[in-house]
A and B are shown apart, each in its own frame.
Chain A
Amino acid sequence: MAMTTVRKWVVAFALSVLAGSAHAANEISFYYYSVSPNNAKAVEDLIAAFEKENPDIKVKGSNKDYRTLNAEIKTALVAGNPPDVGQILTQSISDMVLNARAIPLEKSPDGAKWMERFYPSFRTLGQFKGQNYLLPFTHGVALMYYNKSLMKEAGLSPDSPPANWDELVKQAQQIKDKTGKEGVFAFGTDNDWNTQTILIAGGANILSPEGDRFTFADEKGIAALQTWQDLSKKYGLMPSITTRQALAAFNAGQLGFYIYTSAQLVGIVNNAKGNFDVGVAAVPRFGSEPLKLPNSGSGLMVFSQDPERQKNAFKFLEFLSRPENSIKMSLDSGYMPVTMDPMSDPRITDFVAKVPQYSVMLDQMKVVVPKPQYPGDRAVDIQNLMVGLLDDLLAGRGTAAELAPEAQRRMNETLGQPAK
Chain B
Amino acid sequence: MLPGRQPSERDQTMRLTFLAPALLLIAVFIYWPLIYTFVLAFHQWNLTSSEMRFVGLTNFSGLLDSPIFDAALKNTAIYIVGSIPLKVLFPLFIAPAIWVVSARRGIVHKSAIFLPTLMSFVVVSLLWMWLLNPLVGIGNSVMAMLGLRLPPLLSSPDTALWTILAISAWKIMGFNMLLYLAGLASVNRDQIEAMRLDGAGDVALFRYLIWPTLSPTTFFVLIVTVIFSIQQVFTPIDILTHGGPSNSTTNLFYMVYQYAFQSFNIGYGAAGTVLIFAIIFVVTAVKMRILESRVHYQ
Contact surface of A with B, Cβ cutoff 8 Å: 67-68, 70-71, 74-75, 77-78, 95, 99-101, 182, 189-191, 239-242, 244-245, 248-249, 252, 254-255, 377-381, 384-385, 387-388, 391-392, 394-395, 397, 410, 414, 417-420
Q: Are A239 and B152 touching (Cβ within 8 A)?
A: yes
Q: Does B44 contact A (CB under 8 A)?
A: yes
Q: Are B157 and A420 touching (Cβ within 8 A)?
A: no
Residues of A within 8 A of B156 (CB): 240, 395
Q: Does B48 contact A (CB under 8 A)?
A: yes
The interface-forming segment of B91-99, B209-217, B261-269 is B261-269
Q: Are B261 and A417 touching (Cβ within 8 A)?
A: no
In Å, the complex CA distance between A419 and B246 comes to: 25
Contacting residue for B133 out of A95, A249, A380, A418, CB 8 A: A249
Q: Are A245 and B47 touching (Cβ within 8 A)?
A: no
* Chain B residue at minimum C-beta to C-beta distance from A395: B157
Residues of B within 8 A of A70 (CB): 262
* Chain B residue at minimum C-beta to C-beta distance from A389: B246
Which of B58, B265, B267: most chain A CB closer than 10 A?
Answer: B265
User: What is the CB-to-nearest-CB distance from B128 to chain A, in angstroms, rounded to a whole number?
Assistant: 11
Q: Are B267 and A384 touching (Cβ within 8 A)?
A: no
Q: Are B47 and A380 touching (Cβ within 8 A)?
A: no
Q: Are A418 and B46 touching (Cβ within 8 A)?
A: no
Q: A71-B261, A191-B242 are in contact. List 19 more A-B contacts (CB 8 A).
A: A71-B264, A74-B48, A75-B47, A75-B261, A78-B47, A95-B264, A99-B49, A240-B156, A245-B154, A254-B135, A378-B263, A379-B262, A388-B67, A391-B157, A391-B244, A417-B65, A418-B62, A420-B59, A420-B62
Residues of B within 8 A of A391 (CB): 157, 244-247
Could you list 15 examples of A-B contacts with CB < 8 Å? A67-B262, A239-B134, A241-B134, A241-B135, A245-B129, A248-B133, A252-B136, A377-B46, A379-B262, A380-B258, A384-B67, A394-B155, A414-B67, A417-B65, A420-B268
Q: Are A242 and B155 touching (Cβ within 8 A)?
A: yes
Contact surface of B with A, Cβ cutoff 8 Å: 44, 46-49, 55, 58-59, 62, 65-68, 129-130, 133-137, 152, 154-157, 240-247, 258-259, 261-265, 267-268
* Chain A residue at minimum C-beta to C-beta distance from B157: A395
* Chain B residue at minimum C-beta to C-beta distance from A418: B58
* Chain B residue at minimum C-beta to C-beta distance from A77: B48
Contacting residue for B264 out of A74, A252, A254, A417, CB 8 A: A74
User: What is the CB-to-nearest-CB distance from B249 to chain A, in angstroms, rounded to a whole number?
Assistant: 11
Residues of A within 8 A of B258 (CB): 380, 384
Residues of B within 8 A of A240 (CB): 134, 152, 155-156
User: What is the CB-to-nearest-CB distance from B8 to chain A, in angstroms, rounded to a whole number?
Assistant: 25
Q: Are A420 and B265 touching (Cβ within 8 A)?
A: yes
In Å, the complex CA distance between A395 and B245 comes to: 8
Residues of A within 8 A of B246 (CB): 388, 391-392, 395, 397
User: What is the CB-to-nearest-CB distance from A52 to chain B, in angstroms, rounded to a whole number?
Assistant: 34
User: What is the CB-to-nearest-CB distance from B215 to chain A, in angstroms, rounded to a whole number?
Assistant: 42
Contacting residue for B44 out of A182, A252, A419, CB 8 A: A419
* Chain A residue at minimum C-beta to C-beta distance from B268: A420
Q: Are B59 and A381 touching (Cβ within 8 A)?
A: no
Nearest 4 interchain pairs by C-beta: A249-B135, A240-B152, A391-B246, A391-B245
Residues of B within 8 A of A378 (CB): 263, 265
Residues of B within 8 A of A395 (CB): 156-157, 245-246
